[in-house]
Chain A
Amino acid sequence: METKKTSLYQLHKDCKAKFVEFAGYQMPIQYSEGIVEEHKFTRNHSGIFDVSHMGQLFIYGSEDLIKDLEKIFPLNLKNLKLNHSKYSFLMDKDAGIQDDLIITKIEGGFLIILNAACKDNDFKILKDLLNEKYKMVLDRDRSLIAIQGPKSSQILNEVIDGVKDLNFMSGNWFSFVNQKLYITRSGYTGEDGFEISIPNSFADELTRELINKGSKLVGLGARDTLRLEAGLCLYGHDLDKDKTPVEANLKWAISKERISKGDFIGSDIIIKQLNDGVSKIRVGIKPEGRIIAREKTKIFNQSDVHIGEITSGTFGPSVNGPVAMGYVENEFSKKNTKVFLEVRGKKHAASICSLPFYKKSYVKGAS
């Protein structure tokens, strides 16, 4: 299968991107300044990310759709206000995570942002679960551009007036050269920022304008270091079908009211795990010194017993040190528990820590 290109491909090339294949797309891993500079620029100024490979699924319907989606997602969707977003996941009957996603209530239905590698499968699953009752569009005619970092609100507002008034995890329709853009105040870097859904043929123009106003393109490499410092999960690494939201320490994203009713896919397992506890759980892990423990690194306790595995690990440029997350047996998940990480045959000391590694408060309206 030929790798796909996003609408910003030429712009990436113009900005001297190094490309990698990711989920069937040619995506920029970094530009000429490199991952560390791109990371810091996002934290201090404003970075633009091409996330057009992600799925933008529009589902249209009203009261029935809300009821049917509540059978799938552990969210209180009937109380979700228009243009408000929630983080959630698509689970199988064993509560295994098939994808994590952001769902936003829009006029006439919902917009769901899906991971690139999962989107086609998610579409099939959701179509089946909804018995083809609703119009569903996995929109390939729209690009998705994220702009993240403290200067992003000011920069984007210069191009699209009014975006600065959006609250965190909410969105609205805006216009840019007579095109309809759906913009939410959200992101995946631990910074204030926006995600912009825009028709493909206008993505390049908008992005160049944002660059002119002082933002810079940032690749997937820095996106990974940014999200890991922010303690956010990456599907296929920190989350997969063998992990439940309770094990992934994401129970905050499950509606309490929905748990009390227990009528969504996987709810029996979720309720059981909330009551009885889990055997493994996702934690933050801080290696001592500079050693980097990457995905699949084995974790041992002080008695040299294998207790878990790293699922993401890298060097955090803002933390200026190594950062990691992974799953450990529940009894070793307490903050400050000493553990050992096996890297290239040697055991290195580390400790369990709380997430995120890097915290900046989101702008107003954070919930």
Chain B
Amino acid sequence: MSDVKYSKEHEWIKLEGDIATIGITKHATEMLGDIVFAELPEKGSSVEKDGTAGVVESTKAASDVYTPVSGEVVDTNQAIVDDPSKINQDPENSAWFFKLKIKDPSEMDTLMNRDDYDKFAKETSA
């Protein structure tokens, strides 16, 4: 069973068993513009809920990527580091950022479902 949730920092998180795949939303990429640089957390490192877990840069500015849940980084997507434009092309699927072995499944409960996120994105960008 998979379950996709969304954070107020515009990350999506897909949970399969205790492995969470995390990326940034299409709405986030639209706000950022052309992404030209991506930095990911190190494999094996631990990240804390709402902490910085990466960076994306557009031609204009750098933005932090946060992790919506805590855990250990078990995989990162080198393809988006090598070609950051992939993030603009397919942000909510092949251009995922990192995978975590999550610590506390209950952290998922505070996140938004798709409908709530879409509403949130619309309100905050208006």
| Interface set of A (CB-CB < 8 Å, partner B) | 29-30, 34-37, 39, 221, 224-225, 290-292, 294, 314-315, 317, 322, 344
Contacts and interface: CB of A to CB of B under 8 A. Distances in A.
- Of the listed residues A224, A294, A315, the one surrounded by the most CB atoms of chain B closer than 10 A to its CB is A315
B34 interface: yes
A221 B33 contact: yes
* Interface of chain A: mostly helix, strand, loop or mixed: mixed
Q: Which 3 A-B pairs have the closest CB atoms?
A: A315-B36, A36-B34, A35-B59
Contacts, number: 42
Contacts of B33: 30, 34-35, 221
Contacts of B58: 35
A292 B57 contact: yes
A344 B59 contact: no
Contacts of A317: 36, 59
Interface in B32-63: 33-34, 36-37, 55, 57-62
8 contacts: A34-B34, A35-B60, A39-B59, A290-B36, A292-B36, A292-B37, A314-B60, A344-B62
- Of the listed residues B55, B60, B84, B85, the one surrounded by the most CB atoms of chain A closer than 10 A to its CB is B60
Contacts of B37: 290-292, 315, 322
Nearest to A222: B59
Contacts of B81: 290
Contact of B60 (A221, A291, A322, A344): A221
Nearest to B52: A344
Interface in B67-101: 81, 84-85
Interface residues of B, number: 14
Interface of B: 33-34, 36-37, 55, 57-62, 81, 84-85
B66 to A, nearest CB: 15
A234 to B, nearest CB: 14
Nearest to A228: B59
Contacts of B85: 36
Contact of A35 (B34, B55, B57, B62): B34
* Interface of chain B: mostly helix, strand, loop or mixed: mixed
Contacts of A36: 34, 36, 59, 85
A34 B30 CA distance: 10
B62 A315 contact: no
Contacts of A221: 33, 59-60
B60 A29 contact: yes
A188 to B, nearest CB: 17
A314 B55 contact: no
A314 B62 contact: no
- Of the listed residues B55, B58, B61, B62, the one surrounded by the most CB atoms of chain A closer than 10 A to its CB is B58
A294 B81 CA distance: 19
Contacts of A30: 33
Contacts of B57: 292, 315
Given A36-B36, A221-B33, A292 B62 contact: yes
A208 to B, nearest CB: 25
A225 B59 contact: yes
A29 B85 CA distance: 19
A294 B62 contact: yes
A360 to B, nearest CB: 20
A47 to B, nearest CB: 15
B34 A344 contact: no
A297 to B, nearest CB: 11
Nearest to A33: B34
A29 to B, nearest CB: 7
Nearest to B81: A290
Contacts of A344: 55, 62
A292 B56 CA distance: 10
Given A35-B60, A314-B60, 19 more contacts: A29-B60, A34-B34, A35-B33, A35-B59, A36-B59, A221-B33, A221-B60, A224-B59, A290-B37, A290-B81, A292-B37, A292-B62, A294-B61, A294-B62, A314-B59, A315-B36, A317-B59, A322-B37, A344-B62
